[in-house]
Chain A
Amino acid sequence: MKKIDSIEELQKMAAQVRRDIVRMVYRVQSGHPGGSLGCADFLTTLYFKVLNHDPANFTMDGKDQDLFFLSNGHISPVWYSVLARSGYFPVEELNTFRFLNSRLQGHPATEEGLPGVRVASGSLGQGMSVAIGAAYAKKLNQDPNLVYTLHGDGELNEGQIWEAALFAPHHKIDNLISVIDRNSQQIDGPTEKVLAMGDIGAKFAAFGWQVISMDGHDLQNIIDTLARAKSMTGQGKPIAIIMHTEMGKGVDYMEGTHEWHGKPPTEPLFERAMAQLPETLGDF
């Protein structure tokens, strides 16, 4: 796949992805815009600049390619937009998000055969384990490509995450880069109020991971941090990136609050969002 190298072009793509997110959620009056907007810069950069992948010829095994697993499956709008715009399926299909007979299920699934998705997610906390299995298989298959995951900070409440976090360093899963979306919000409120996660980086470090942090809205910082993370692979330890983001980034009334975690905008608010999100590359 042809990569996007300039920051300016990446910004245009991220802007269009944000617009896609809000339009998808508004259209079906259902879905999770907040976390999706917060991860738009990261996923755009990952898919258009960093990943070694072949969107036009998706294979389940992803042999000789990098793999990505979205563990916090509820931010499917951002993933679907990025998948479609990088060529996994037609952009027009974004119109079907969450409607009956769609391949774009509310939470990502393989059942309908949507290219780009390798495992179902949505019930939280399972993606890191699956990614570890896929990374383990890559090692056994002598495939030097990497496995990336994305997790919500609220998702880290789940015990299975910490089972996986314990396993990966013990078994030297050093071809895994796990990104934690530290937006400090979850459905019921601020993470530190619902169930304090405290210093997430220190927790992963204590489990034996290499930990770095990243500004999830600074494209150059995302590029540099992912390059740095890549340079840290193959050293016997997995890598965790604590990615600082703002939930709802790009739509003023959605920013920095859990209110828009899983709620679609009404018509006036939709229009207000559209006025803030320029159509840069053509709507679906």
Chain B
Amino acid sequence: MKKYISTGKKDTRSGFGVGLLELGKKNENVMALCADLTGSLKMNAFEDTFPERFIQTGISEANMIGIAAGLTIGGKIPFTGTFANFSTARVMDQIRQSVAYSGKNVKIAASHAGLTLGEDGATHQSLEDIGMIRMLPHMTVVVPCDYNQTRLATIAVGEMVGPVYLRFGRPSWDIFTPAEDPTFQLGKAQVMTEGTDVTIIACGHMVWLSLQAAEQLEAEGISAEVINMHTIKPLDEAAIVASARKTGCVVTAEEHNRYGGLGDAVAQVLGRQLPTPQEYVAVNDTFGESGTPMELMKKYGLDTPDIVAAAKRVVGRK
């Protein structure tokens, strides 16, 4: 089994900040908007380099989404930046009407997603965003797995035409994908490890934990195929079906409520094309709470041992 080594730790939001700056240097139409969280979103470098292309909206997310939609009419490529909850739930109707239904080329950059936001607690821990945005026609939903991939994903979504939801996080997280990665393409799943007994499909921070789980499973004689599903919409259905056909069972792992997210997206594909036993590693329809990121991942069943246990359960159901 292919082994992945952590080459260090960085927050995925910093990958966004670096990618945004690079994109801004490549394309003068790229703009950034922020609702009073510039530092948290790591948008300072862009703001400092391109002050005339940075818009501080103040704490008014609905207005920010609308302005972004309007900027696209003049050919701009705006990235909005705020926390995942304020990027989705708070502005769902603005995204729905002014962005998605209107087919506007807005890039919604959402940081601090999931439980790993940590100590701020449930008000700020978005566990529903993937589901909400995935339901909107025309939207692309991207959840990169580490710092390097978040940088690449930021550049990639800026270079495609169409509205995008780009989800990333706050904590320092292991880096295990290369800085330049020709295998990373929007809409195309990455098979991280090939395996024969169980497929683990993960997104975001859960990919690294899934790779750890695969190593533990290998030691116990279970061969796991780990798939990084960084693009949740449009979903690489062929990759899901091909792997499920090979292994005969699937675990999905996401930092999200078990309803509406990656797990449900995968289940829908399998149900239609290849009914396959599936186990969810996800938050069990509850709100989070304050705590350190890893304390929360453990308490809410999203840690490596939870993925290992789910894999064993699903192998037993074959």
Contact = CB atoms under 8 A, between A and B. Distances in A.
Interface residues of A, number: 39
A171 B63 CA distance: 13
Nearest to B60: A163
A129 B55 contact: no
B58 A133 contact: no
A132 B70 contact: yes
Interface string A30-42: 0000000000000
A61 B74 contact: yes
Contact of B73 (A67, A120, A122, A166): A67
Given A109-B101, A160-B66, A119 B73 contact: yes
B70 A133 contact: yes
A67 B60 CA distance: 24
Nearest to B63: A163
A130 B66 contact: yes
A134 B74 contact: yes
A160 B53 CA distance: 23
Nearest to B31: A140
Interface residues of B, number: 31
Nearest to B35: A163
A130 B66 CA distance: 5
A195 interface: no
Contacts of B62: 125-126, 129, 159-160, 163
A75 to B, nearest CB: 16
Given A129-B65, A166-B60, A137 B70 contact: yes
Contacts of B63: 129, 132, 160, 163-164, 167
Interface stretch (B91-99, B121-129, B192-200, B268-276): B91-99
B70 A123 contact: no
A105 to B, nearest CB: 10
Contacts of A131: 70
Nearest to B66: A129
B73 A128 contact: no
Given A62-B73, A126-B94, A129-B65, A140 B102 contact: no
Contacts of B73: 60-62, 67, 118-119, 130, 133-134, 137
B103 interface: yes
B75 A141 contact: yes
Contacts of A133: 66-74, 78
Contacts of A183: none
Contact of A111 (B66, B68, B94, B101): B101
Contacts of A14: none
B32 to A, nearest CB: 13
Contacts of B66: 126-130, 132-133, 160, 164
A179 interface: no
Nearest to B93: A123
Contacts of A148: none
B44 interface: no
A166 B98 CA distance: 20
Contacts of B103: 110-111
A163 B61 CA distance: 9
Contacts of B57: 167
Contacts of A132: 63, 66-67, 70
B76 interface: yes
A160 B94 contact: yes
Interface in A108-165: 109-111, 118-123, 125-138, 140-141, 143, 159-160, 163-164
A140 B97 contact: no
A127 B60 CA distance: 15
Contacts of A127: 66
B104 interface: yes
Contact of B55 (A60, A111, A159, A171): A171
Contact of A140 (B52, B72, B93): B52
Interface centre among A60, A61, A119, A130 (most CB of B within 10 A): A130
Interface string B176-217: 000000000000000000000000000000000000000000
B196 to A, nearest CB: 45
B70 A136 contact: yes
A140 B70 contact: no
A47 B65 CA distance: 28
Contacts of B71: 133-134, 136-137
A16 B76 CA distance: 38
A129 B98 contact: yes
Contacts of A128: 66
A235 B64 CA distance: 24
Contacts of A137: 70-71, 73-76
A247 to B, nearest CB: 24
A128 B70 CA distance: 9
Interface of B: 52-53, 55, 57-58, 60, 62-76, 78, 93-94, 96-98, 101-104
Top-6 shortest CB links A-B:
A133-B70, A137-B74, A129-B66, A163-B60, A163-B63, A133-B67
16 contacts: A62-B73, A111-B102, A118-B73, A119-B70, A126-B93, A129-B62, A129-B67, A132-B67, A133-B66, A133-B67, A133-B69, A133-B73, A133-B74, A134-B70, A140-B53, A163-B58
